[in-house]
A = this chain, B = another copy of it.
Amino acid sequence: MIYNIDPQFEQRLNEVADRITVALDQLIPPATGPEAQLMRAMRHGALSKGKRLRPFITIEVGRMFGAPEKALLRAAAAVECIHAYSLIHDDLPCMDDDDFRRGQPTVHKAFDEATAVLAGDALQALAFEIMVSPETHRDALMRCKLVERLAVASGPRGMVGGQMIDMNPITEGEEPLQILARMQRLKTGALITLAGEVGALLGGAVEAERHAISGYTNDLGLAFQIVDDLLDVEGDPSLLGKATEKDLEAGKVNFVSLLGVDGAKDRVRYLAAQAKQHLASFGSRATSLLHTVDFVLNRRH
């Protein structure tokens, strides 16, 4: 499953990641006053070097539809705030209990647990504050749509619901693969799908175009998760910047334990082809989103 990543694509990915980091640096309040530790912890969690895949999808989808750059950057930063908060909370001792993230100590290790809970809480509130601001879009109805999508995708029937299943699934009468698929669709899928929707909304995409984008992000999100599970088995902890074999140690089922390594790899290839197929009608305008599929398949961390 080795693909050549287009060097121009990688440059674009890095450029967007840097712009998101700069934007978050400006959007997170300065660390002043007796509550300064909160802002330092928010920065620790949100400004560390990440792939920035979700905001990249927002920006690339939005560009394809001609959305204004400033709106895209702010909305993408809001999406990334939600992602960053979820990582901070997922890493807590009572959740996945991870000491390292992106090669540096997790927020509760660099600070303490209370600060990590609060930094996550504050990043969630900040995401909504950024999204609803007139600086993001002049049209209030558009801002309401963005806020509504953000709230649903990150809430009990979205990301947080998925994390609940991951922690403590109620399994009566359901197939493990069905539960796992729902867990993935909520925990990682909802926010990746949202990232595409936000770009499509800001670009004024029509119904059929939005449908194609959500087909693309659904397949991409699932492929992303299966690759994650493969990396948990086959990955290099020093490249990943975090521990591996976490699921095995925790006795958790994942796509590799259910499908096997070869079965999981087959599924990823199938999803990748299907994701690309959803973009067919956009022709060469979708080049960057096509490369994104290869990037997700090829990632080593």
Nearest to A156 among chain B residues (CB) is: B122
* Contact status B161-A38, CB under 8 Å: yes
A170 to B170, CA, bound (A): 43
A172 → chain B closest CB, angstroms: 9
Answer whether residue A174 sits at the interface, using C-beta atoms and an 8 A cutoff.
Answer: yes
User: Given A143-B144, A170-B34, A118 and B164 touching (CB < 8 A)?
Assistant: yes
Interface string of A83-106 (1 = CB under 8 A from B): 001000100101100000000000
Q: How large is the interface on A (under 10, 10 to 19, 20 to 34, 35 or more residues)?
A: 35 or more
Residue among A113, A129, A163 with max Cβ neighbours from chain B (10 Å)? A129
Answer whether residue A182 sits at the interface, using C-beta atoms and an 8 A cutoff.
Answer: yes
Interface string of A167-179 (1 = CB under 8 A from B): 1111100100001
A85 to B124, CA, bound (A): 12
Answer whether residue A160 sits at the interface, using C-beta atoms and an 8 A cutoff.
Answer: yes
Chain B residues lying within 8 Å of A164, measured Cβ to Cβ, are 35, 37-38, 115, 118
The stretch from A55-63, A145-153, A202-210, A276-284 touching chain B is: A145-153
Chain B residues lying within 8 Å of A158, measured Cβ to Cβ, are 125
Chain B residues lying within 8 Å of A133, measured Cβ to Cβ, are 148
Chain B residues lying within 8 Å of A124, measured Cβ to Cβ, are 121, 124-125
* Contact status B33-A118, CB under 8 Å: no
* Contact status A115-B168, CB under 8 Å: yes
Answer whether residue A241 sits at the interface, using C-beta atoms and an 8 A cutoff.
Answer: no
A114 to B186, CA, bound (A): 17
* Contact status A122-B42, CB under 8 Å: no
Chain B residues lying within 8 Å of A161, measured Cβ to Cβ, are 33, 35, 38, 122
* Contact status A148-B170, CB under 8 Å: no
Answer whether residue A29 sits at the interface, using C-beta atoms and an 8 A cutoff.
Answer: yes
A31 → chain B closest CB, angstroms: 9
Q: Tell me the chain A residues, 122-140 only, with Cβ under 8 Å from chain B.
A: 122, 124-126, 128-129, 132-134, 140
Chain B residues lying within 8 Å of A121, measured Cβ to Cβ, are 85, 89, 120-121, 124, 160
A183 to B148, CA, bound (A): 31
Answer whether residue A240 sits at the interface, using C-beta atoms and an 8 A cutoff.
Answer: no
Answer whether residue A189 sits at the interface, using C-beta atoms and an 8 A cutoff.
Answer: no
Answer whether residue A117 sits at the interface, using C-beta atoms and an 8 A cutoff.
Answer: yes
A34 to B178, CA, bound (A): 10
A175 → chain B closest CB, angstroms: 11
* Contact status A128-B140, CB under 8 Å: no
Nearest to A121 among chain B residues (CB) is: B160
Which residue in B35, B140, B151, B182 is a CB contact (below 8 Å) of A144? Answer: B140
A183 to B33, CA, bound (A): 10
Nearest to A111 among chain B residues (CB) is: B168
Q: A125-B156, A134-B144 are in contact. List 4 more A-B contacts (CB 8 A).
A: A33-B161, A38-B164, A89-B117, A128-B147
**Which 3 residue pairs are nearest across A and B when measured between Cβ atoms?**
A125-B155, A94-B113, A129-B151
